């Protein structure tokens, strides 16, 4: 499991630097780079909330959509053997490869 936190439908990645003795992260799923840091878990959470709030305020100010658009189409690179296995499974089930992959993703994310 990757270390993340959530606030207002935003996800923040969390890392720790032993050299600097600090927690740090960035807001994921946006078209910009917004980072935050703190010397404790509480400071990190507070900094993340402030970063999200500031980012939302800036987006409103400039009339920008804060989240990356999800067009419903993306490329996935997988090993050729896995691709062949997926094609075979789709054929056995009588569905398209697209449908097979969609169902697998739905099962993983709980939709």
> Domain map of the chain by residue range?
4-62, 80-109
Whether 28 and 4 have beta carbons less than 8 Å apart is answered as yes
pLDDT at position 68, please? 76
- The number of angstroms, rounded, from the C-alpha of 46 to the middle of its chain's C-alpha atoms is 20
CA 44 to CA 19: how far, in whole Å?
17
Residue 51 phi, psi (nearest 5): -65, -45
pLDDT of residue 67: 85
pLDDT for 73 equals 83
Looking at residue 51, what is its pLDDT? 97
pLDDT tens-place string over residues 2-32: 799 999 989 999 999 999 999 999 999 898 9
Name beta bridge partners: 13.
4
Asked whether the predicted pLDDT for residue 109 surpasses 60, the reply is yes
pLDDT at 74: 84
pLDDT tens for 28-86 read: 989 899 999 999 999 999 999 999 999 999 999 999 989 877 778 888 899 999 999 99
Q: What mean pLDDT is predicted for residues 79-101?
A: 93
Angstrom distance (rounded) from CA 111 to CA 106? 5
């Amino acid at each position: 499991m990757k270390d993340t936190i959530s606030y207002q439908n935003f996800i923040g990645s969390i890392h720790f630097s032993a050299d600097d003795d600090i927690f740090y992260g960035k807001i994921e799923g946006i078209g910009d780079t917004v980072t935050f840091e703190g010397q404790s878990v509480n400071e990190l959470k507070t900094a993340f909330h402030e970063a999200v709030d500031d980012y939302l305020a800036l987006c409103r100010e400039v009339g920008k959509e804060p989240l990356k658009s999800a067009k419903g189409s993306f490329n996935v690179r997988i090993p050729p053997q896995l691709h062949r296995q997926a094609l075979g499974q789709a054929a056995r089930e009588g569905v398209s490869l697209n449908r097979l992959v969609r169902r697998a993703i739905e099962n993983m994310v709980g939709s």
